[in-house]
Amino acid sequence: MLGKPVPDLSLTATGHGFKLSDLKGQPFVLYFYPKDSTPGCTTEAQQFRDLYPKFKRAGIAVFGVSRDSVKSHENFKAKQNLPFELVSDPDEKLCAEFGVMKLKNMYGKKVRGIERSTFVIDAKGVLRHEWRGVKVPGHAQEVLDFVKAL
């Protein structure tokens, strides 16, 4: 998928609808995370929140994506004071397009869930970079460093 245009999908998000084609003309970051209000996902969201002014100055929009409901996203966004929108993907449309659904081990059981992943899409709607199996510490800074160099 790298170097190829991302498909146009419409989903719901906090504050409004979310349509990939509406973002043409502006580079953006999509970061996929497993679940609202869990420790790793909260830390990741806080790191993107804390660096958000720098993303904004660089002209880069940021969106978090998980399978949680818009209501769950709104609560998480309010509690963590997130300045960016969270996209709800309960039908896994966006997750499928980006191939982030994986079988994971949770307490010895195999469960299907989102593999923490981040994607950078340029102003023309082309996928420019991806990180899969993300480790949270320092990741948002790594993404920021990459997009500043775009």
**CA dihedral in degrees (135, 136, 142, 146; nearest 10)?**
80
Say what angle helices 39-57 and 70-80 make with each other, to 10 degrees.
Answer: 70
Q: Any idea which residues carry the catalytic annotation?
A: 41
How far is the C-alpha of 93 from the C-alpha of 84, rounded, in Å? 21
Strand order in the sheet with 28-32: 16-19, 10-13, 85-88, 61-66, 28-32, 117-121, 127-132
Any bridge partners for residue 121, and if so which?
A: 28, 127
- The answer to whether 115 and 132 have CB atoms below 8 angstroms apart is yes
How far is the C-alpha of 144 from the C-alpha of 120, rounded, in Å? 10
